[in-house]
């Protein structure tokens, strides 16, 4: 008879996510996970099979929480400019040191195709929602129609990730705000 889990899986994944964010995949040992997650080694292996699978589950948890919040904000935006301004502020004010998925992508590279696939799926989902929000904002006359929504979505997403990467290396927050301001000015461009 199978034993029931004696822990809250969402809580465990949140702790694993935080640990992987702090130390990276390669810097996190199995013992680090056991200590931080407060579960036995056997429970960890029974539930997740190995460190790699736990890492993939933590990535999915991030996507299902952080990315879904972003997508919800984009879908419900009454003012895209306000949502994007707040998003850049949230990115710059984030004390956790940049985007977890961007860090995963940089650390894992192409030699971990499962990680690359999850990161790409996340990127595609965010860019698609940005594109749809841009279309709505252009139709409402809130932002310029100068740029095609798909191109503008890629531009905004790239700048968000660039700022997160800069911050992960200790960039000056004022400089990042200046970049965000220039980036957002494109929404009003009329050449």
In whole angstroms, give the CA distance from residue 38 to residue 95. 24
What six digits make up the tokens of 58? 């933590």
Q: What does the DSSP 8-state code read for residue 37?
A: H
- CB under 8 Å, gap of 24 or more: what pairs does 77-85 form? 77/133, 77/136, 77/137, 79/142, 80/133, 80/134, 80/136, 80/137, 80/142, 80/143, 80/187, 81/137, 81/142, 81/143, 81/184, 81/187, 83/133, 84/156, 84/184, 84/187, 85/180, 85/184
What pLDDT score was predicted for residue 175?
95
Given a cut of 50, the residues of the chain with pLDDT beneath it are 1, 191
Per-residue exposure over 176-188, b if at least 16 CB sit within 10 Å of its own CB, e if not? beebbeebbeebe
Q: Which pTM value belongs to this model?
A: 0.84
Cα separation, 73 vs 79, in Å, equals 10
Give the three-class secondary structure for 94.
coil
The CATH architecture to which 57-188 belongs is Orthogonal Bundle (1.10)
Q: Which residue has the tokens 């029974």?
A: 46
pLDDT (0 to 100) of residue 85: 96
Domain ranges (residues) in the chain: 57-188
The reported pLDDT for the residue numbered 1 is 46
Spatial CA neighbour of 176 closest among 156, 187, 162, 158? 162
């Amino acid at each position: 008879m199978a034993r029931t889990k004696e822990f809250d899986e969402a809580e465990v994944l949140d702790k694993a996510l935080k640990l992987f964010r702090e130390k990276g995949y390669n810097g996190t040992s199995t013992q680090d996970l056991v200590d931080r997650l407060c579960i036995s080694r056997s429970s960890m292996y029974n539930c997740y099979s190995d460190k790699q699978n736990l890492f993939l589950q933590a990535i999915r948890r991030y996507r299902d929480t952080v990315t879904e919040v972003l997508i919800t904000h984009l879908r419900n935006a009454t003012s895209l400019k306000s949502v994007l301004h707040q998003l850049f502020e949230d990115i710059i004010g984030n004390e956790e040191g940049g985007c977890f998925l961007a860090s995963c992508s940089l650390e894992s590279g192409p030699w971990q195709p499962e990680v690359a696939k999850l990161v790409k799926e996340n990127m595609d989902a965010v860019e698609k929602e940005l594109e749809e929000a841009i279309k709505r904002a252009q139709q409402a006359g809130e932002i310029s129609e100068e740029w095609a929504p798909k191109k503008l979505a890629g531009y905004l997403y790239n700048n968000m990730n660039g700022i997160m990467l800069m911050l992960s290396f200790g960039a000056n927050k004022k400089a990042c705000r200046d970049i965000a301001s220039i980036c957002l000015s494109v929404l009003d461009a009329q050449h």
